[in-house]
Amino acid sequence: MQLKKIAAAVAAGTLGFCGQGWALEPGVSPDIEIFVSGAGAQDNNLRRLFEELCVAGTLDTYFDNASPASPGALYTAIFCTLDSAKVPGLSVNNPKVLFHKRTAGAAAMGVNPVLDAQPIDQMAINNGNCTRTPPDQFFRCRISQPGDLAPVVSDAGISNPGPEIFWGTNTPDGVAPVNPGKVIERMEVKSGGSILFNVPVTRSLRDALQRAQIDSGELAPECETQDTEPCMPSLSKQQIASLFTGSIGKWSEFQVVSKNGGSAPLTTYAGAGDLSDDKVHLCRRADGAGVQAQANVTFLNYPCADGAPTPARTSNPLLGPVVLHAPSPGSMDLCLKDFNDGTNDSTFNPTGTKAWAIGIQSTERNVNLKWNYRSIKIDGVAPTLGNAARGHYQFWADVTYQWLKAAFNGPTGDKLKIIERLAADAGKPSILAKNNAAFVHPFGPAGYLATSVAGHPVPPDGVFDPNVPVSPYTRGPGGLSLDTCRVPVIDGRKPNRL
């Protein structure tokens, strides 16, 4: 099925938009149609990139309405008149471009099926399935009935981390594992900067860790319940790895040594009514999620080393941990919140248990502290842009845009020119700084970094500037291809502050 036009039924007024203004008439066929799939953490950045290429006043946006409270969590589309002056060399002047983005299935959907030219479901908007009702400034699109989704081969994909890592347990259901050699042979892979991740914990666990680390002398007495960087509690990389592999099943297995030399289980520091189940609750992401793949590399060295431990995938009902598979960033928010509050909005907590949980999430989430979970330090280092740019904070992933080379039936012509422009702009410091302005936490600025290996200069004095957020660290130094298993090093002789 070709998604070549907005429904004629919409043009005829059957969806009831009489009297509303349109950027482009719904019945107008696009000149160019592009399908991209992959990492959801890139959706806001990608949308901003595409919108900057559009002629002002010509843009309409379409979001799936599978979750009315979170439209566009799985599929989006943008329809606008593209400004040819911003993408030189197009064969059509100011073409009408319909741009589709599939987020369902997470980062691996921007890698495995793209590499194998495997059709995957994309959201149709020619099935009478999209409506717009004031005050919405976008269309909500149904994806539950026949014809609402159609199998299409993605023209390009987006992932964080790079495409070569999506094999082994990083392979989602329904697609083949990636052959890293095939990536090098068949794909164009372009850097889109990097993204910071963290291992947030339920707020009640954060508070208990603060009390414990105040008692041990690691935090100041006034830090309890505070969200600032000096007051963030910390777990070590080895402790996190032990939790992620299921080697620690109960929080009482952590012993806290106080300043006076005594020791007690961590659960001693629980607040009243905070804990009805001592078992570790591990809110992990599904196989194929970029943040899960990067966590596997960062904390477990999986799949980079033979014999590397694998992440826990099943629960131990008696001894713990309890393992929950969150399919999206939004479901991760709910998973952590539910075990803190004893609720079940995620459906992971049907008994209303109050338990301490740990998860993995990108740092553009929960900036306003809406959800009852909090970020923590790793090895004593907070997840800020400056710490990552100085090489102190390690849990970050490369963002990549990839597509098949023309020799392997990849995109060509106008479609390729637009994709190349989006990929080239994705990691620009100016674009990332605009996005990062919305990601300033009480502990500091987080979000995205541009990379010097992509040609963006770092300040000559090595002082990090959030208005020009550039890191000198790379997993592809000296012209080498990106390798997520490679330890990041400074690209050439770049200035860097200790």
Model confidence over 306-331: pLDDT tens digits? 999 999 999 999 999 999 999 888 89
Q: Look at residues 189, 162, 160 and name the one whose alpha carbon lies nearest to residue 363.
A: 160
> How would you classify residue 391: left for phi > 0, otherwise alpha for psi between -120 and 50, otherwise beta?
left
Q: How far apart are CA 476 and CA 163, in angstroms?
A: 13
Residue 367's CB is within 10 A of a number of other CB atoms, namely 14
As given in the structure block, the two tokens for residue 19 are 């009297």
Q: How far apart are CA 267 and CA 12, in angstroms?
A: 64
> Cis link prior to 303 (omega < 30° from 0)?
yes
Q: Look at residues 78, 106, 10, 66 and name the one whose alpha carbon lies nearest to residue 418.
A: 78
Question: What pLDDT is recorded for position 11?
Answer: 30
Q: How far apart are CA 187 and CA 176, in angstroms?
A: 16
For 136-172, give one letter per residue: b (16+ CB within 10 A) or e: eebbbbbbeeeebbbebbbbbbbbbbbbbbbbebbbb
Query: What is the maximal distance between C-alpha atoms in the chain?
Result: 78
Q: What is the DSSP letter of 291?
A: H
As given in the structure block, the two tokens for residue 55 are 């002629």
For 286-311, give one letter per residue: b (16+ CB within 10 A) or e: bbbbbbbbbbbbbbbebbeeeeebeb
Q: Are strands 75-81 and 96-102 parallel, antiparallel or unpaired?
A: antiparallel
pTM (2 d.p.):
0.90
CB 110 within 8 A of CB 175: no
Tens-digit pLDDT string for the chain (498 aa): 333 333 333 332 222 222 234 465 456 689 999 999 999 878 888 888 888 899 999 999 999 999 887 789 899 999 999 999 999 999 999 999 999 999 999 999 999 999 999 999 999 987 888 988 888 889 999 999 999 999 999 999 999 999 999 999 999 999 999 999 999 999 999 989 999 999 999 999 999 999 999 999 999 999 999 999 999 999 999 999 999 999 999 999 999 999 999 999 999 999 999 999 999 999 999 999 999 999 999 999 999 999 999 999 999 999 999 999 998 888 999 999 999 999 999 999 999 999 999 999 999 999 999 999 999 999 999 999 999 999 999 999 999 999 999 999 999 999 999 999 999 998 999 989 998 999 999 999 999 999 998 889 988 888 899 999 999 999 998 878 889 999 999 988 777 777
Question: What pLDDT is recorded for position 145?
Answer: 95
Helix then strand then coil, % of the chain, to nearest 5:
25, 25, 50
Residue 347's CB is within 10 A of a number of other CB atoms, namely 11
Q: How far is CA 63 from the centre of its chain?
A: 18
